[in-house]
Amino acid sequence: MTCHDHAHREHSGTSLIGAARSALMAAGEQWTGMREAVFAELARHERPASAYDIADNLSRSRGRRVAPNSVYRILDLFVTNNLALRVESANAYLANSHPGCEHDCIFLVCDECGEATHVDDDEVAGRIRKVAQSHGFKPERPVIEVRGLCQSCAG
């Protein structure tokens, strides 16, 4: 079940890149050519992509080596600013289809095909935050991952 306390627009293609640029700049960060290239490469993936996947693809398309460490730094910036989501168990990333919109990550990760579906459920996330706070813990970025089989692989 997907729950939203507010409405947001899902973006794709050039609209997604434009929304990401706007969100990053609104956060006081610069939108550079390299950041745009990394985001565009990330956004074209339907499944979570690693920094190495992105660096390899950019290296091929640019005709010169792009260092994975540079890509990792940019991806970390994107996660911090809600432009990308990190699938912790896969050490991989997905473009956030509604950049700048803050939701705690709930992922359904398929062990067979690697698909990761991002679900927004503010009720579940809120309860997890309350549990953490009741133990004197200040939650910064809760991430919930459910491993199993997607509908296609289970069927």
Residue 155 in tokens = 């069927």
The tally of CA atoms less than 13 A away on the side-chain side of residue 90 is 28
Q: Does 63 have pLDDT greater than 90?
A: yes
| Contact by Cβ (8 Å): 71, 51 | yes
Q: What's the predicted TM-score (pTM) here? A: 0.81
Would you tell me the crossing angle of helices 68-80 and 13-26 to the nearest 10 degrees? Answer: 70
The full DSSP string for 19-83 is HHHHHHHHTT----HHHHHHHHHHHT-SS-B-HHHHHHHHHHHHTS---HHHHHHHHHHHHHTTS
User: For residue 142, what are its two tokens?
Assistant: 């809760």
For residue 8, what pLDDT band results from cuts at 50, 70 and 90? Answer: low
Q: What is the pLDDT of residues 133-146, one digit of tens each?
A: 999 999 887 888 99
At 88, the amino acid letter reads: E
**Token code pair at residue 5:** 């306390």
Which of 1-5, 20-24, 123-127 bottoms out in mean pLDDT, i.e. has the lowest? 1-5
pLDDT at residue 97, rounded to an integer:
82
Which domains are assigned to the chain? Answer: 13-95 (1.10.10.10), 105-154 (3.30.1490.190)
- Predicted pLDDT of residue 12: 54
Over residues 65-103, the pLDDT tens digits come to: 999 999 999 999 999 998 999 999 889 999 988 776 676
Report whether 93 contacts 86 (CB < 8 A): yes
Q: What is the largest CA-CA distance in the chain?
A: 53
pLDDT confidence bin for 155, thresholds 50/70/90: confident
